[in-house]
Chain A
Amino acid sequence: MKKIGIILILIIILMVYIGCDKVSNPEYNVDKSACNSCGACIGICPKDAIEIGEDGKAIIDQTKCNQCGKCIAICPEDAIY
């Protein structure tokens, strides 16, 4: 049952991926399982759009982010996607 559920989710994701257009404005988010809370992204963000959240991991304020991508390049754990 679990395997069927996972396979169904993967098929749906694959269909979405193949059949859908990319959103017009890119959006960056943080993979919390990869973030090590170093805060390098906070220091580099020119818009001050990144803050440490409840679990100590970085969160991005989407209303402030200008998608410059500097945080992607500096993140030592490649946690921003």
Chain B
Amino acid sequence: MKKILILLLILFSISQVFSDEEHNNKSNAKSKNKYYKIARSLYRKPFGETLCIPFIWLGNLTDDEKDKFDPSNEQEPKDLDQQRRFNLTNWSQISLNYFTTNAKHDINMVTGASQEAESINTKGKFGLKYQHELTGKISEEFSYDVKEEIFYSEKSHERRNSFLTNNLKLSLFYKQETTYLRLQFNNRYYNPDETNFLNLPGVVYNTQQQMTSSAILHLKQDFGKLSLNVYSNLRDLEYRYVVPLEENNDEYEVHQASDYDSYTDAKLFFKIADHMKVFGRMYYKDDLNELSLFDQMNLGGGFEYDNKIDLFSSIKAKVQYYNNISDKINNEQDHNFVTQLRYSRRFRNGISGFVSYINRSCYDNETSQIYRVSNMLRIHAMYSYSIENLNNSYLLSGIKYNPENEGTLGFIEQNQYLFKDIYSTVNIKYSLDLFTSYSLKFEYFLNSLQSFWIKNEYTDFYNIQKQNLIYFGSTFIF
């Protein structure tokens, strides 16, 4: 607790040092809104509502913004033209989560085994997340992107299998009028939770990933009406697994292993009319370690239709067939059909929404029957209204109908400006088969870039686990 408070105080002090008068300059209101929205988006989207991320710090979003905080600029302004030529973008984010309540964990979600003795005590535990991204141009054609993400948790949360996760992405891009090439290296390192690894009751054989490395090549080439898209990923998974030495014995033997996979996805598009393309696709997954059991090949094609009817509405459709060749997948899923439809509409009075439908079906040669793989209907509607200048109050509701995979749910969320820069957010999500969650959050904005908040979230995973978590924290953007 002391560590948290000290850290919060330090960060708050730093924020005050950097909180230049320019933040209060009304002439920068437009710019502030932009960063505010970027930050809100980052803080809501990448981590979602499921991982509590109360503390966010964003640094150096753009060169112009960085210059404002660079004292050397007062005497000797930098050559902005030179910076723009290299198009450098550099931003960082640090977040901290702190649990004030326990998350009781009665049954393991993977095995279903009773886990009363291992109930998770999250009270007083905290986690830290750091994210940094640097993008820049080497020349007109070449650019790069470096992205780093570190997640540390003092206590392994039941939705995480690791105390520490480090995700690194290095990308090099080549872009010309008709050519796009991306070379990328990804590394995801896990420092696994020993408790979850070894003490799963009833499990005699368990695996846990430790590190994943990927080398990616992505090429897009246009030839007029014809375009080619090739994606290739070579992935190495380092993992370990345990095997008990003897039956009914608590002693285990830990083994280390590697698993190499290669994924290739190639598509050839041909534009046959305005807004419409036909395509052929080949997807091949090669398990380089095992026999051909885990190999998979998809061959097929279809058409895409994408039309922005006017400024307020658009329609998209995609119909695809592919032949699935894999020993691991049942014969009844050899011939697959995917149909997607999406219609979105925006009105002048602040109401917007969309309807989306995806159907996946398959045909079995042996029984001459068509089977349903999955159906998903999604309807969202949003009403944005302005009480304050930032125009950030909204009411959002939606349903997702997915009977085959028990994914049917409905949700409603309201973000409301209350008074004196205080916002409230209410979210209710009800899933027919998986969970119900309620959350309430109050957030106080010191200015458009800095805020404090407190949140209460209650989740009931039916017959598995109930938890009520209270988080507190703050958001700082520079």
Contacts and interface: CB of A to CB of B under 8 A. Distances in A.
Interface of A: 6, 9-10, 13, 16-17, 19-29, 31, 33-34, 36-40, 42-44, 46, 48, 51-54, 61-64, 68-70, 72-78, 80-81
A22 B372 contact: yes
B342 to A, nearest CB: 6
B423 interface: no
Contact of A26 (B237, B239, B404): B404
Contacts of A16: 359, 361, 370, 372
B83 interface: no
Nearest to B362: A23
B388 interface: no
B332 A77 contact: no
A23 B333 contact: yes
Contacts of B294: 63-64
B224 to A, nearest CB: 22
Interface stretch (B44-52, B132-140, B244-252): B44-52
Contacts of B370: 16, 19-20
B142 interface: no
Closest 3 CB pairs of A and B: A76-B48, A54-B231, A81-B376
Contacts, number: 162
Contacts of A13: 339, 357, 359, 375
B256 to A, nearest CB: 15
A31 B358 contact: yes
Interface string B246-270: 0000000000000101010100000
B429 to A, nearest CB: 8
Given A9-B339, A62-B329, A73-B435, A20 B161 contact: no
Contact of A78 (B357, B362, B409): B409
Given A54-B218, A54-B229, A63-B287, A48 B359 contact: no
Interface of B: 45-51, 109-110, 159-162, 165, 167, 186, 188, 207, 209, 212, 214, 218, 229, 231, 233, 235, 237, 239, 259, 261, 263, 265, 285, 287, 294-296, 317, 319, 326, 328-330, 332-333, 339, 341-342, 356-362, 369-376, 378, 400, 402, 404-407, 409, 411, 434-435, 461
The interface centre, meaning the residue of A9, A10, A21, A81 with most chain B CB atoms within 10 A of its CB, is A81
B231 A40 contact: no
A28 B342 contact: no
A38 B45 contact: yes
A5 B409 CA distance: 29
Contacts of A10: 341
Interface SS of chain A: helix, strand, loop or mixed?
loop
B329 A48 contact: no
B159 A74 contact: yes
B13 to A, nearest CB: 31
A47 to B, nearest CB: 8
Given A40-B51, A72-B407, A74-B159, A33 B110 contact: no
Given A33-B356, A81-B376, A40 B50 contact: yes
Contacts of B231: 53-54
B47 A38 contact: yes
B49 A76 contact: yes
The interface centre, meaning the residue of B214, B237, B357, B373 with most chain A CB atoms within 10 A of its CB, is B373
A63 B218 contact: no
A20 B400 CA distance: 21
A29 B361 CA distance: 13
The interface centre, meaning the residue of B167, B407, B461 with most chain A CB atoms within 10 A of its CB, is B407
